[in-house]
Structures are given as C-alpha cells and as structure tokens.
A and B are shown apart, each in its own frame.
Chain A
Amino acid sequence: MNRNLPLYLILPSLLLALFVISYPLYELINLSLSDVNRFGKVRGYIGLENFTYIFEDPLFIDAALRTVVWTVAVVGGTILFSIPIAVILNTEFHGRGIARTILMLPWAISLPMTAIVWRWSLNGEFGMLNASLMNVGLIDSPIVWLAQSATAFPVQIGLGILVSIPFTITIFLGGLSSIPLDLYEAAKMDGANAWQQFKRITYPLLRPFINMAIVLNVIYVFNSFPIIWVLTQGGPNNETDILVTYLYKQAFSFGHIGQASAVSIAMFTVLLIFTIFYARMVMKNEK
C-alpha cells in the first residue's frame, strides 16, 4: 500500500477548497491594506488607513452594535423557544409526527423566499399580517411595519428566530433522545415534579447540545444576509444595517472596496474566534 495514498485522495478537495477560499482571503487582506478605486484598481499600499476609516465611521459603529443586538437577540430567542418546543416534541402525544413536520417547515424554504413572502405579508396596506391582527383585535389601525426601524428591526429579529428554530430543535431532539428514560422513572419514584425533573435531569444533560446550538447559531446569524437585505436593505436611513449589509453596500453600492475589505477582515477575525470555540467543542465531544 502506497504511504501517500491518503494524501492523493484528499488532494483534489484540498485544491478546490484552497482555490475558492484561500485566494479570495488573500485578495481581501491585500485590498484591506490598499488604496483601491471604485473599479477595484489598486493604487498603492496605505497600511491600516481603511481600518481607521471604518472604525471612525459612525454608520459602521452602529452596524457593529446592531449586529451584536441582532445576534444575541436571535440566538437567545431561538434557544429560549427551542428548548420547550423540543421537550414537547420529545413527549409522546397524538399527532406528534405531524407536529414535528410542521415545526420543520421553515427550514424547507430558502431564506430569500421566506423574506420575500414576509415582505408582502408585512405590507402596511394590503398585507395579511395587519389584516389578521386587526381581525383578532390586537391592533386598531394598520402598522407600516417596514417603514421605520422601531418596528422593522424587531420583526426581522422575530423572523430570524423563526427560521433558526427548526435546526435548533433538531439538535435538541437528538440530545433529548440520548437521555435514558429510567432517570425520569427514578426521579418520579422520588417524587420529583415536572419542573424539578427538567432542572435536575433534562437541562444538565442537554447542556452540551445547547452549547453546540449557541455556537453554530451565532456563526450562522452573524453571517445572515437575506432577511435584512430583502426586507429593508438595511434601511430606512441605514437604521437596520448589520455588518453584512453595511459591507455589501460599501462594496457594491458605493464602490468603497478597500474599506469594505477591511470590514470583511474584521468579520473574519470574529468568526475565527467563534470557530476556535466550536472546534474545541467538537474535539472534546469526540474524546
């Protein structure tokens, strides 16, 4: 058996991944340190000037802070909703299969499509959301949801939570199914009520899966572009911009290639830190 055989086997995948990921990364590092005109022509090395520019841009600071709010709110909300949903779906009841399928539905439709459908549902005049809320008496007059950030951003967060729930409950259901049932039997014998059982058995044993779901969701949500882009493009007045939409506008609307590359590198650094967390978690699980 040829000693180098495994290397030959991984080589094609390595080359393709390197080509598609490393080359762009190398370009980004170069561009972020260069003076670049709007057509992408490099005019020379300028050190960290692009980074000082973005860190002094109030729109960048706002977008960065909003990204923190967005990520924490979406991931936090997702975890809070997903735990009880997963616990319910893990108990036996009539029609559980149907319930599971319904809960997985948002996952089956792509984010841009979901966002487009919601954009129409949220329409101030003709949207069904206002009509439905007025029917059940929750609001008196139509709300133009996407016209002001005070309503648009919370709606986007809610939508972010909704589309993250299926993936998260999938992880939790896997975790719950690994908890031995006799633990609950024993707890019942000792007279523990449902809340005590959850606190003493379910939660601690689910904890590694919760950690995993938090890290993976943070990475996905931090990178998530379609919901905000399709609903508001970061508007009105850049008030729903997060880093990815700020980056996209800097690069492809304003032609600030150097500054946008600096944003990319900053985001890449943050992602790398999350990835290290994730990698350590995966390695630990494997041992």
Chain B
Amino acid sequence: MLTKMNKKTKRSIFCWLALSPIICVIVFPFAVMFFTSVKPRQEVFSFPPTWLPSQFVWQNYIDMWQATKFSDALINSLYVSFSATFITLLVAIPAAYALARYHFAAKSSYRLFLLITQMLSPIVLVIGLFRLIVWLGLIDSVNSLVLIYAGFNIAFAIWMLQNYFHTIPKDLEESAWMEGASFLQGLTKVFLPMAIPAIAVTAMFTFINSWNEFVLALTVLRTEENYTLPIQVYSLVGGRYTIEWHHVMAAALVASLPAAILFSWLQKKLVTGLSSGAVK
C-alpha cells in the first residue's frame, strides 16, 4: 500500500514539474491583469516595475467604471449577446430537430452548407458584411451585430443541438402523438423539456462567442455610446497617447468575468461533447 502511494506521489511531482513552465506562462497575464488593476496610478508607471502594489487601490475599479463609461458598453454587450443567442436558438432548434429526426433529400447538402459557413470567419467577409450593413442602414447600430452574430453562430448551434437531440429517444414524442397530441404539442410538451440542458449549453456558447467578437464590432461601431465591451476596452489602448493601464486592466478583468465564469462551468461538458459528439 505504502509503495503504491509513493508511486503516485512521485508521479504527481513529475507531472506538476513537467507542467510548471506552461502553467507559469498561463497564470502570468492573469497576475499582471490583477496586480496592475489595483496599483496606485504613479506605481503603474514606476521603473523598475514591481509585482505587488504598496497598497491595494480598489477605488481603481470605481474610477474605471466612470471614466470608461463601462456600464454603457456592458449594456450594449448584454443586449447584443442575448439577442443574438435568442435569434440563433429560434432558427437553430427546428433545423437541428429536422436533421436529427428525419431523412430527407437535401439533408447532406444542407450539412455541407453548414460546414462551409462554420469555417468562414467574419474577417474574411468583412467588406461584404460592411456593405450589407450599409444597405440595411444599420451602420453604427448594435442591431447589425445581432443579425450577423446570429448568422455566424447558426452552423455551430445546429451541429451541437443535433448531436444532443440524437440522444433523446424518439418514442417519447411519438407516443404523445399516438395519444392524440398535435405536432406542436408533442414538441413543446414532451420533446423540448427533455432538450433543455442541450439548449442551455448551446445558448451559453453562442452567448460567449457574441460576447467576445472583435473584428465586426470594431468595423461597424463608430460612436462610443454604441461600443461593446471588447471595443470599449480596446479603444482605451488603441491610438491613445497616454494609456491608463490600471483602468484598462480593471476593465479587461471585469469584462472577461461573465464569459470566463460561464466557460469554466461549461468546460467539462465540452470535453465530453467534443469527444463523443453527445452529452447527456
């Protein structure tokens, strides 16, 4: 027993040692972000720089919140991400249901179409997207982002939902129909409740994607009150002569939190999801 324990302890020491360089590199920016955000302003620009501040200035967060008009950007980001997620789910759920439950002629070509759209990133189409938005009269409007984020998230959402839907037994809604429920009743009363975990996970991914998108927001949004969070934080850095780094780091930290929390919670589901193509 003792030798077995020793073996595992030895192995643990080896594993942690082997991982330590990469762990340092990963933790480093988080440490920079946190410690800079709580430094007094004059210590941010002192040479040589030190890790620890002489005192923790939590006031930086309050100052940042006002100086960067953080709440405006936060509201814009929430609006864009929630709306894009809602529209994506609205069109993706029926499509995923069709792909998971029926055999039809266009099925494989539709899946190929989805695969191609999934591979395209907004940057490659950015000029065409810009013209689409001009044509719609939506330049500088967050609604243009809602529409486009939804369009770009469809493929991923359908693919993910369809994998989940396969695992829900078909008999359930079929027996409901046999018992005289209408098509829609069978779906909303029997199928959808079973699919809620799947829909929730897909929703969170769509939300995170929209929350983090950069290129299109950078291109389309022109005035500060319409900025989403990534653009607001970037605007504190890009093209400025003096950069208030303690504010930037505080803003980056707060802006990253919602997606990061969602993400760490989802991560386990993702590991199983990517490997088996089905999560229960």
Contacts and interface: CB of A to CB of B under 8 A. Distances in A.
A9 B102 CA distance: 11
Most buried by B among A14, A92, A94, A117: A117
Interface residues of A, number: 94
Contacts of A101: 264, 267
Interface in B95-150: 95, 97-99, 101-102, 104, 106-107, 110, 112-117, 119-121, 123-132, 134, 147-148, 150
Given A27-B127, A27-B128, A125 B47 contact: yes
A113 B115 contact: no
B215 interface: yes
B214 A226 contact: yes
A227 B33 CA distance: 17
B26 A162 contact: yes
B196 interface: no
Contact of B26 (A103, A120, A128): A103
Contact of B264 (A93, A104, A275): A104
Interface residues of B, number: 100
A19 B114 CA distance: 13
A106 B26 CA distance: 7
A88 B255 contact: no
Contacts of A28: 125, 127-128
A276 B248 CA distance: 41
Interface string A80-122: 0100110010011111100101111111111111101111110
A264 to B, nearest CB: 6
A103 B21 CA distance: 11
Nearest to A220: B121
A146 interface: no
Contacts of B132: 20, 23-24, 27
A260 to B, nearest CB: 6
Interface stretch (A66-74, A172-180, A185-193, A196-204): A172-180
Provide the main secondary structure of the chain B interface. Answer: helix
Contact of B234 (A14, A116, A248): A116
B8 A92 contact: yes
A16 interface: yes
A171 B270 CA distance: 10
Given A94-B8, A267-B124, A110 B230 contact: yes
Contact of B259 (A31, A95, A110, A274): A110
For the complex of A and B, list the 4 residue pairs with the smallest distance between their C-beta atoms, beginning with the closest. Answer: A174-B275, A20-B151, A24-B128, A110-B212
Interface of B: 8-9, 11-12, 14-16, 18-19, 22-23, 25-33, 35-36, 44-51, 87, 90-92, 94-95, 97-99, 101-102, 104, 106-107, 110, 112-117, 119-121, 123-132, 134, 147-148, 150-152, 154-155, 158, 211-212, 214-215, 219, 230, 233-234, 237-238, 245, 248-249, 252, 255-256, 259-260, 263-264, 267, 270-272, 274-276
Given A19-B151, A230-B238, 18 more contacts: A7-B106, A10-B94, A10-B106, A13-B91, A17-B114, A20-B132, A24-B129, A27-B127, A85-B22, A93-B15, A103-B23, A113-B212, A116-B234, A117-B249, A165-B22, A174-B275, A225-B123, A278-B119
Interface of A: 5-10, 12-14, 16-17, 19-21, 23-28, 31, 40, 81, 84-85, 88, 91-96, 99, 101-114, 116-121, 125-129, 131-132, 134, 162, 165, 170-171, 173-175, 177-178, 219-220, 223, 225-226, 230, 244, 247-248, 251-252, 257, 260-261, 264, 267-268, 271-272, 274-275, 278-279, 282
